[in-house]
Structure 1
Amino acid sequence: MSTFEQFNLPKSLQKAMDDLGFQNPTPIQQKSFSVIMSGRDMMGIAQTGTGKTFAYLLPLFKLYKFTPTETPKIVILVPTRELVVQVVEEVEKLTKYMSVRTLGIYGGVNINTQKTSVYEGIDVLVGTPGRVMDLALDNVIRFDETQKLVIDEFDEMLNLGFRPQITSILAMMKPKRQNILFSATMTDEVDEMLEDYFDFPEEVTLAASGTPLEKIAQSVYSVPNFNTKINLLKQLLNQDESMERILVFVNNKKIADMLHERIDADFSEQFGVIHSNKSQNYRLNTMAEFQQGNLRGIITTDVMARGLDISNISHVINFEMPELPEQYIHRIGRTGRADATGIAISFVTPREEEMKIEAEMLMNQEIDTMDLPEDIEISTQLIGPEKEKEKVKFLMKKPKISDSGAFHEKSAKNKKVNLGGPGKTKKKTGSVNRNLLREQNKKRNKKK
């Protein structure tokens, strides 16, 4: 079995690895090392949980040479605040015996504090694209000395709409640099970016895109609606004691908060909730509580599905099926990491059936369907999104037509005009429609 000693790391770096207790590199670390050391651009395709962070950090710090500059020599872009914090921690562990100044920056905190930190001098910058671009446009961050650019979770960056920020940052950098890119999937948008902005990066592939982790037992429950899903989740939590470290995924912030409120009623203070509307301190504290075993689980959006190193997840529950099949892979990949096995359970309503089939097609594998427990309470109460079809039908009703073929006029008391406020209407009581007023003014001006 190969060990890190084959990499001939500098003593300071090897000592840090010894302190961490790491002896054997993962496959992606082995495959990436020589490519990055060669100085060529690289595109690494690897699933979450495969050791990607050390795959680029180890060769970068073997190549690293201290120079007395104030601008970053290494820039690492990641999609989320949590991932910034995590990568900074990994860098600090590896550079424990080296002279390296590391700074993590992200949105949602005071930008002036971050500006002060930048002015103190940095060697390694880790940040989200938005905040890095903000500080670069303000001429606070300069890329004069940047030799290495790492973009981690490249496909997720593009999914989140960061393409304009990434292209702006690339435009500010000198062309002579090494680009190291990591992505879990090769999407069309990733391909376009590679073609437009990078020089034929060497591809290092660990596994075919969409291949599920073999150590994860996957199953599906067919459930009629949201409220029945809640009943099922509560029953599983009550009856299955092995569900001790759980991630529950939903598709948006509103559902996350709603589900947390309903679950907390029966399992008080056992679950945290994380999404992009929560403050940075709240999110980090919740993750810390979960890591320390003070929480049984976290209810979250896909912000937790990528890159974050959360250990010993026993179960992943897709309370809602993700809209992209690739995201299903990233979600279930939070469990079954390293040498552990994991369990992934998905709750699927009829309107989510197509999403399930797309995930199965991507994996080339059918997910086992489980029978609903006989004593589960089947709810008939629908929530907002489940009523959408009814709303659409209502909105598409044709207006009534009179015998003469003309549309019926609304009665005077029902005539309303929108005065521009969101969702607000007022009865028409002498107020004039703004558009009509503009037209009248135009006519007056023409007469003049």
Structure 2
Amino acid sequence: MKFSDLNLNKSLLNALEDLGLDSPTSIQSKVFSIVMSGKDMGGIAQTGTGKTLAYLLPLMRMWTFSKDKLPQIVVLVPTRELVVQVLETAKKLATYISFDAVGVYGGVNIKTQVLELAQGCDLLVATPGRFIDLAASGALKVKNIKKLVIDEFDMMLDLGFRPQLQTIFDKIPEKRQNLLFSATISEEVEELLDETFKSPEIIEDVAVGTPHQNIEQRAYFIPNFNTKINFLEVLLANDTQMTKNLVFVGNKTLADTIFEELTRREVESIDIIHSNKSQNYRFRALESFTKGETRTLIATDLGSRGLDIPKISHVINMDIPEVAEDYIHRIGRTGRGNEKGISISFITEKEQELFEEIETLMNYQVTIGETPVYLEISDSLMSFEMEKIDMKILAPKKKIDVGPAFHEKAEKNKKVNKRRDIEAEKKAKYGKAYKKERKL
């Protein structure tokens, strides 16, 4: 099938030709007619198979010009990086039509985004929090929204976006088309689909967890994290095929540790991105990596969803994610489109069970390689690798002299109860005993 076989107008076909695209991917061809029908839909497909074009093409085909330039299409994504990437794709598709797209996200001055919205747009790409901020301030008018797309919606739920999504559902017109796209689906996602959307049609391009055919997967058993860093250094120094490498690790602390250690060892052309880095830093790091100026980029799992970078040769898993689907997202950063890619995973004994769960999800056994004999095995363990022993150490009891139970009273507070002889006191005063007469 060719794009010309779909119900696309000449303007969109010309834009696709400029991009060098003539044939839709499987997910793009499967969902096109369903999206055009106006039905709610959930699209499940492997990373790198073109989900962004899968929803943008039919939505932009259905779009109609409006003078008031209020957004008709909203795309919600979990990360700032993904906002930028969806926005860039939409602008390329809009080369030959009067279609304006705006992207908004947190972490930057909201006033700039308010000014952009004031000029009008047809498509808004946003992170949920910034969408709510702009709508609450009145800068974002939601009355014309007809199409809502939630991209990477399983990640949205994993990151706790569900309350924000519900707020957005309540704000925008109830009469709308809802489209959800992701590489994986969970029970919570299915529950949200049933609760929120109207009889959505679920389109699975391939079974969830199916490994991408373009990705060669390898794994190595490594005793500890410091040895993993040693092995990463060995690979970067000796494997000439590792031209553009994305290194994944589960948290920011370990990402910083890897970056600092490789920098100390004078490993060249490396950079790092995670949520503690400023937005400008992250954009510069991504741009440098995308252009090939940086050879190796270290990222946390958040980056596995928002990075659409061509020609990544290798994905390296420094640890094994606890959620098997996250592994699918990680390795999906390579082997995108028609490209070939390689994923390499470092596995400790404690992580072996997690990796077996990943293999079960994929229904695929990953090749286990032999580490080189010259690899330096470290005896030093990271704090999270050490056994935690919960022992109460009881100190010996000591006798403490606390003194008397009561302190000495002040002189003025000392009182002595004395029995008074009233008759004697009266006689001394009046010369005789005084008796008060009763009145009858």
TM norm. shorter chain > 0.5: yes
Cross-structure match for 2:83: 84
Cross-structure match for 1:253: 252
Any runs of at least 4 consecutive aligned residues in structure 1 with deviations exceeding 6 A, and if so which?
409-412
Cross-structure match for 1:305: 304
Cross-structure match for 1:342: 341
Cross-structure match for 1:103: 102
Tell me the CA shift for residue 175 of structure 1.
1.2
Q: State the one-letter code of the partner of 2:39.
A: R
- C-alpha separation in 1, matches of 2:272 and 2:371: 26
Tell me the CA shift for residue 30 of structure 1.
0.4
Cross-structure match for 1:14: 13
Cross-structure match for 2:56: 57
Cross-structure match for 2:188: 189
Tell me the CA shift for residue 138 of structure 1.
2.3
Cross-structure match for 2:153: 154
Tell me the CA shift for residue 410 of structure 1.
11
Q: State the one-letter code of the partner of 2:313.
A: S
Is residue 43–residue 204 contact of structure 2 (8 Å, CA) maintained in 1?
Answer: yes
- Answer yes or no: is 1:175 the counterpart of 2:169: no
Report the secondary structure of 1:306's partner residue. helix
- C-alpha separation in 1, matches of 2:186 and 2:50: 21
Tell me the CA shift for residue 383 of structure 1.
1.6
Q: State the one-letter code of the partner of 1:53.
A: T
- Answer yes or no: is 1:400 the counterpart of 2:394: yes
Q: State the one-letter code of the partner of 2:44.
A: I
Alpha carbons of 1:215 and 1:170: their partners in 2 closer, same or farther (altered >3 Å)? same
- C-alpha separation in 1, matches of 2:342 and 2:182: 24
Cross-structure match for 2:288: 289
Tell me the CA shift for residue 411 of structure 1.
9.6
Tell me the CA shift for residue 307 of structure 1.
4.5
Cross-structure match for 2:353: 354
Q: Tell me how many residue pairs correspond in the alignment.
A: 401
Alpha carbons of 1:74 and 1:401: their partners in 2 closer, same or farther (altered >3 Å)? same
Tell me the CA shift for residue 372 of structure 1.
2.1
Cross-structure match for 1:435: none
Is residue 315–residue 335 contact of structure 1 (8 Å, CA) maintained in 2?
Answer: yes
Report the secondary structure of 1:200's partner residue. coil
Q: State the one-letter code of the partner of 2:125.
A: V
- Answer yes or no: is 1:378 the counterpart of 2:377: yes
Is residue 81–residue 306 contact of structure 2 (8 Å, CA) maintained in 1?
Answer: no
Is residue 42–residue 202 contact of structure 1 (8 Å, CA) maintained in 2?
Answer: yes
Is residue 212–residue 329 contact of structure 1 (8 Å, CA) maintained in 2?
Answer: yes
Q: Structure 1 vs Structure 2: percent identity of aligned residues? A: 50
Cross-structure match for 1:145: 144
Is residue 49–residue 307 contact of structure 1 (8 Å, CA) maintained in 2?
Answer: no
Report the secondary structure of 1:208's partner residue. coil
Tell me the CA shift for residue 118 of structure 1.
1.7
Cross-structure match for 2:429: none
Alpha carbons of 1:261 and 1:23: their partners in 2 closer, same or farther (altered >3 Å)? same
Is residue 233–residue 267 contact of structure 2 (8 Å, CA) maintained in 1?
Answer: no
Report the secondary structure of 1:302's partner residue. coil
- C-alpha separation in 1, matches of 2:298 and 2:73: 34
Is residue 83–residue 105 contact of structure 2 (8 Å, CA) maintained in 1?
Answer: yes
Is residue 41–residue 178 contact of structure 1 (8 Å, CA) maintained in 2?
Answer: yes
Q: Deviations over 1:301-330 (max 9, x none)?
A: 112212532111111100111121000011
Alpha carbons of 1:411 and 1:224: their partners in 2 closer, same or farther (altered >3 Å)? farther
- Answer yes or no: is 1:163 the counterpart of 2:157: no
Q: State the one-letter code of the partner of 2:359.
A: E
TM superposition score normalised by structure 2: 0.88
Q: State the one-letter code of the partner of 1:272.
A: D
Tell me the CA shift for residue 269 of structure 1.
4.2
- C-alpha separation in 2, matches of 1:150 and 1:380: 50
- C-alpha separation in 2, matches of 1:9 and 1:337: 24
Q: State the one-letter code of the partner of 2:50.
A: G
Q: State the one-letter code of the partner of 1:167.
A: Q
Is residue 260–residue 299 contact of structure 1 (8 Å, CA) maintained in 2?
Answer: yes
Is residue 151–residue 182 contact of structure 1 (8 Å, CA) maintained in 2?
Answer: yes
Report the secondary structure of 2:305's partner residue. coil
Q: CA RMSD in A?
A: 1.7
- Structure 1 or 2, whichever has the larger Rg, is 2
Structure 2, unaligned runs of 5 or more? 402-440
Structure 1, unaligned runs of 5 or more? 403-407, 413-448
Is residue 102–residue 116 contact of structure 2 (8 Å, CA) maintained in 1?
Answer: yes
Q: State the one-letter code of the partner of 1:143.
A: V
Cross-structure match for 1:363: 362
Cross-structure match for 1:443: none
Tell me the CA shift for residue 399 of structure 1.
4.2
Is residue 213–residue 336 contact of structure 1 (8 Å, CA) maintained in 2?
Answer: yes
